[in-house]
Structure 1
């Protein structure tokens, strides 16, 4: 079975305004050539992440191990080829000099003359320079956070150069300097890291959740982490998540176990259930109540479940927007603004979901409908009633996610799931981890923040908005009840005094 690129191509097609088939042909004919300066701290780690990100789209990939300031070690080359093979064995990483026609991309501060642009990690952040623009001196060795942000940012530049984006829909600035901890343009000045975390839960092990996992692993973080996720790893996830191979997808490895395997230095407690199930376990005393929650889910309903954990601090990452390339961070506290302040309950009645309507019309199980990018096969007809077989038969060979539209069950684009490319989700994950560092070190001591930008443009000066509670939100109207719930989960006899807006209680 060939690697499934459908979700990444779906995002790219939406961003470009083209059809996925044509875009796949364009990318498949594009060669991205890589060189790197291996003696710069963090560059080899960034190279590994970027090679994987690029392999999750159908480019041709080549690498010249002698094109930088020093040769890339053979052991690193072997690891890179193994990494690529785990994603798509039919599209290897070729070790060669630059082809005649290619987009040459460099990692490091001394790019060869043929490189179109180059990126380098500086502390927790990234510096990017297009051809003809020199790098300043780096302030600090690249951290795990900086390496992932560098790889994701440089991959975004490749995406902008190769997909045929319309003028005015992407950024063209020749230089970029950004730190996701300080949210400022001088990376490397903040060097505090997350050497250890405790009383923390990651809710959601999808595109953003695996991005957070990747960062924590590269930072060498130790301590304890609870991972809440009900689903297993499947073939479409291989090209959109930051960890996991085709073998993992074939074996349907549970996503919580995937995270656990990638974080061997941490004591990971897997919760293979929903956030509400986790809340029930916390209230029953069978699961630890987290003081910090890292949210990585993709629906409003799931975010409302996260808020009901009532942790001291919730850091929610998201991707979306009209093209799926917008990414955001929402900082929330139980005193407000909470996650519901960012995502209010709809004020109009909501009817059955597209998935429920499709289930009722065809008899397909909801678990099968959830695998929306997989084609309907004859096997899906087995066990259905004659009426349901007749309804589904004309759609054999088509993706599940498009059948609702084809059957006239919805007036939208089939379903409300919007895929994310790994380089977009990784940038959202960097904002989440950056905020965790900022809040734990006291760097960010002011009001809770909403941070948002488009990966096609990159971070800019007006992307951060301080947020206040909505007066009608439950965090304000039910404040006393929330305080009692939090006291119960801390196993305390009395509610603590309220905390002023914008301050995070001590962990």
Structure 2
């Protein structure tokens, strides 16, 4: 079975305003060539993430091994080749000089003359320059956070070219300096030591959650981290998540186990279930009540459940927008603004199950048996049009179909896929806010930070300070919330969690 590029193709097609077939043909004919200065701190980590990001597209990808003092280590080249093969063994990473016309991306501050764009981590941030623009002296050694942000930003620049975005739908910024810890300051100035993970929950192990896990791994974070997600890793996730291979998809590995395997230096508490399941375990004293929540969920309902944990601080990351290229950070408190202030419930909209029923004709009682794979027998009684939609999905669990139906591009569909490089930038905002808030670099009102990767971060325009919504439960139920928090604190103290 070939690698499933449907999600990245859908996102690119929507951004470019072309059919999925037209974009797929364009991507297959696109060449991207990479080079790097391995001696710069964080550059090797940037190159690793960048190779995997670009291999998640069906393009032709190559890496320059370098020469003389700039030669890349053979072990690193073999590692990059293996990482790319884990995502798509049918499109191997080529090691050597570029042949023919290609988009050349460089990791470092001294790009070759034919490089179109260069980027490098500076501390926790990124510096990016297009051809003809010089880099300043870096302020600090690149960190794992800076490496992921640099790779995601370079991938975003490549996306504009290989997807063929039309004029007016994006901006090429010849100079970009950005730090997710201190968005209004130059990269490399935020040098606070990394806090130890203590009573921290990662809610959601999807595109943003795996991006956060990737950053924590590269930051060499230590401590204890609870992770919760009910789903398993499947084929479409390979090209939209920051970790996970074709082999993991074939094994249908639980997403929480995937995170635990990746974060070897952290004591991970994996909980395969819903946020409600985790809340019940907290109240039973079976798992820690989190002080801090790092959120990477994809629905309003799940975010509302996450808020019911009433943690001291919740940092929620999101992706979306018309093309799936918009990302945001929402900082929330139990006293408000909470996630319900940011995300109001729409009680008039049909549920995911109802939308799936409308799109496929599958009975609601069959949809309710979500973990059971779709069979040929389930196609009986459907119209020809419905069978055409559902037949390619035979063998997949029904609970995952609501997203897969979105990939068909049905009119009125509201599914917004996320590419790894978009989710990684959301994950960088979440991780940057964690470092800033825990170290006291940022204090004061909660913030909402949002930008579109097609235009890049604009510190003077993308941040809003948020106040609680007057009618929200965080304001009307303050006594109840205080009692819940006091009870959970008592349980934690009694159980030693």
TM-score higher than 0.5: yes
Aligned to 2:9: 9
Aligned to 2:367: 366
Equivalent-residue separation in structure 1 for 2:67 and 2:363 (angstroms): 56
In 2, are the aligned partners of 1:307 and 1:339 still within 8 Å (CA)?
A: yes
Equivalent-residue separation in structure 2 for 1:52 and 1:172 (angstroms): 23
Equivalent-residue separation in structure 2 for 1:270 and 1:157 (angstroms): 35
Aligned to 2:275: 275
Change (3 A) 1:28 1:404: closer
Matches within 5 A, 1:101-116: 101-116=101-116
Aligned to 2:98: 98
Give deviations 1:207-253, integer Å, cap 9, x for gaps.
00000000000000010000010000000000000000000000001
Equivalent-residue separation in structure 2 for 1:453 and 1:168 (angstroms): 16
The Cα of 1:193 is off from its aligned counterpart by: 3.7
The Cα of 1:357 is off from its aligned counterpart by: 4.3
Change (3 A) 1:429 1:386: closer
Change (3 A) 1:277 1:402: closer
SS of match in other structure, 2:362: helix
SS of match in other structure, 1:7: helix
Aligned to 1:429: 427
Unaligned runs of 5+ in 1: 372-378, 494-507
Equivalent-residue separation in structure 2 for 1:70 and 1:166 (angstroms): 36
Structure 1 vs Structure 2 CA RMSD: 2.7
In 1, are the aligned partners of 2:7 and 2:407 still within 8 Å (CA)?
A: no
SS of match in other structure, 1:147: helix
The Cα of 1:59 is off from its aligned counterpart by: 1.0
Equivalent-residue separation in structure 1 for 2:21 and 2:368 (angstroms): 27
Matches within 5 A, 1:68-467: 70-346=70-346, 348=348, 350=350, 353-357=354-358, 361-362=362-363, 365-366=366-367, 380-384=374-378, 386-387=380-381, 393-395=387-389, 397-398=391-392, 412-413=412-413, 416-460=414-458, 461-467=460-466
Stretches of 4+ aligned residues off by more than 2 angstroms: 345-353, 355-371, 379-407
In 1, are the aligned partners of 2:327 and 2:422 still within 8 Å (CA)?
A: yes
In the alignment, is residue 469 of structure 1 matched against residue 468 of structure 2? Answer: yes
The Cα of 1:200 is off from its aligned counterpart by: 0.3
In 1, are the aligned partners of 2:195 and 2:439 still within 8 Å (CA)?
A: no
Give deviations 1:162-187, integer Å, cap 9, x for gaps.
21112121122200000000012410
Change (3 A) 1:159 1:406: closer
Q: Which segment is superposed worse, 244-253 or 19-28?
A: 19-28
In 2, are the aligned partners of 1:39 and 1:69 still within 8 Å (CA)?
A: no
Equivalent-residue separation in structure 2 for 1:297 and 1:183 (angstroms): 23
Unaligned runs of 5+ in 2: 394-400, 493-497
Aligned to 1:54: 54
Q: Paired residues, what number?
A: 485
The Cα of 1:99 is off from its aligned counterpart by: 1.8
Equivalent-residue separation in structure 2 for 1:23 and 1:367 (angstroms): 35
Matches within 5 A, 1:472-483: 472-483=471-482
Q: Which segment is superposed worse, 331-340 or 69-78?
A: 69-78
The Cα of 1:348 is off from its aligned counterpart by: 3.9
The Cα of 1:479 is off from its aligned counterpart by: 0.7
Change (3 A) 1:412 1:176: same
SS of match in other structure, 2:381: helix
Equivalent-residue separation in structure 1 for 2:153 and 2:188 (angstroms): 16
Give deviations 1:110-161, integer Å, cap 9, x for gaps.
0000100100000000000000000000010100100000000000000012
Equivalent-residue separation in structure 1 for 2:77 and 2:240 (angstroms): 23
SS of match in other structure, 1:491: helix
TM-score, normalised relative to structure 2 = 0.92
Change (3 A) 1:110 1:11: same
Q: Which segment is superposed worse, 189-198 or 436-445?
A: 189-198
Change (3 A) 1:162 1:68: farther
Aligned to 1:64: 64
SS of match in other structure, 2:434: helix
SS of match in other structure, 1:101: coil
Equivalent-residue separation in structure 2 for 1:228 and 1:405 (angstroms): 25
TM-score, normalised relative to structure 1 = 0.90
Equivalent-residue separation in structure 1 for 2:491 and 2:280 (angstroms): 18
